[in-house]
Structure 1
Amino acid sequence: MTDTITELEAAAFRRLLEHLGSRTDVQNIDLMTMAGFCRNCLADWYREAAAERGMQMDKDTARERIYGEPFAAWKARHQPEATAEQLAAFAQAQKKHG
């Protein structure tokens, strides 16, 4: 049963990555504001899970797994500067979660 649960969780994770990959219009700052996590958080969690299993993984490698390409390339194509409205919403959300 444990193997099946792990397989289901892995499938859901792959689906999440696929979905986020298809929604490059959704900015990380918007994810952080609305959901309290973003693609970078997923990369950090992925790297932490690797470390818990004795695997060395750097931040760039983890981000490439989550973004499907090097982060710098993804950022250059899909991540414009945050707007004043996005920054204000993010600051307000941080107050709620702090």
Structure 2
Amino acid sequence: MSLPDEKQQMELEAAAFRRLVSHLRNRTDVQNIDMMNLAGFCRNCLSNWYLDAAREAGVDMTKDQSREIVYGMPYEEWKAKHQVEATDAKKAAFEENRPKE
């Protein structure tokens, strides 16, 4: 078994990213705060990483545009359709575990 070459690796990473985004779009029941509390990242983090990569590549993109790529719709629309108020326990867990940058 051989490892992928650099081009193949990039293609595989892109395919994995597309699958992750598709999965997150379909799992609207999973709230960002739950993802943050369990995994340390959420849809917003993913869209920020996408935005960082775009800017590093010289692509002129806004935060709203990168969020729409990840959410599959404008962020405010996604929030109105799918986001629920987090419980006090989830908010406390987030504050305790939030990344210290």
TM-score (normalised: structure 1): 0.92
SS of corresponding position for 1:31:
helix
Aligned residue pair count: 96
Runs of 5+ consecutive residues of structure 2 not aligned to the other structure? none
Task: Report the AA paired with residue 61 of structure 1.
Answer: Q
CA displacement at 1:76 relative to structure 2: 0.3
Correspondence list, 1:43-58, <5 A: 43-58=47-62
Aligned to 1:62: 66
- Extract structure 1 runs of 4+ deviating beyond 6 A: none
Aligned partner of 2:31 among 6, 24, 27: 27
CA displacement at 1:60 relative to structure 2: 0.3
Structure that is richer in helix per residue = 1
Aligned to 1:40: 44
Task: Report the AA paired with residue 13 of structure 1.
Answer: F
CA distance in 1, matches of 2:17, 2:66: 14
TM-score (normalised: structure 2): 0.90
Runs of 5+ consecutive residues of structure 1 not aligned to the other structure? none
Task: Give the alignment's Cα RMSD to 1 decimal.
Answer: 1.0
